[in-house]
Amino acid sequence: MTPFRALALCAASRKRLGITALSGAEPVARLARRHGTSRKFVRAQRERAREAIDVAFAEPPAAPLVETFPRVSETWVRRFALAVILIVHGSYRQVVELLRDLFGLSLSIGTIHSWVEQAAQRAEMINRAQDLSGVRVGLHDEIFQGNQPVLAGIDAASTYCYLLLGGAHE
């Protein structure tokens, strides 16, 4: 046995040696003698062959059940919740489900309701600050949101909606 004989083996020879040792067709000691290497070297090649086979036949890693999303700000979450309610006409419960299922956020219906109320108060302040002096002819009508009556006021010239007021059903 020469100490550098193992270094002289090419990759293909090392592979064949590892596969032969892994198959158990020939004892490790005999393989080492035949190739002029140590038993330790043959066992190392056998383990490399075993690892390569394990990697080749390994099950693919399971996909995570919940994908990770970049962190989003509270402002973004509030806007998302309001968009679902106002644009998609989703319910508070649907907003809670979407935030839980898509982003892993746990919010209560009360939190969503508070956000909607705060947005409505801000919208009311903005609406009160509007200059309506340009409205010359107003068109008024009663419309319904669900089964709730809403008084609507529209400027005839511009079709600007200057009034939406929840009314009592009579």
Percent of the chain with pLDDT over 70: 92
Mean pLDDT along residues 25-49: 91
Q: Which residue has the tokens 């299922």?
A: 101
How much is the pTM?
A: 0.48
Say whether pLDDT at 87 is over 60. yes
Q: pLDDT of 40-60, one tens digit each?
A: 999 999 999 999 988 888 888
Lowest-pLDDT range, 4-8, 26-30, 31-35, 121-125?
Answer: 4-8
- Rounded distance between C-alpha atoms, residue 37 and residue 14, angstroms: 11
Structure tokens belonging to residue 63 = 């996909």
CA-based end-to-end distance of the chain:
107
Distance from CA of residue 157 to its chain's centroid? 47
Structure tokens belonging to residue 5 = 């004989």
Mean pLDDT along residues 136-159: 91
Q: Which residue has the tokens 């709730």?
A: 148
- Rounded distance between C-alpha atoms, residue 158 and residue 134, angstroms: 10
Say whether pLDDT at 84 is over 70. yes
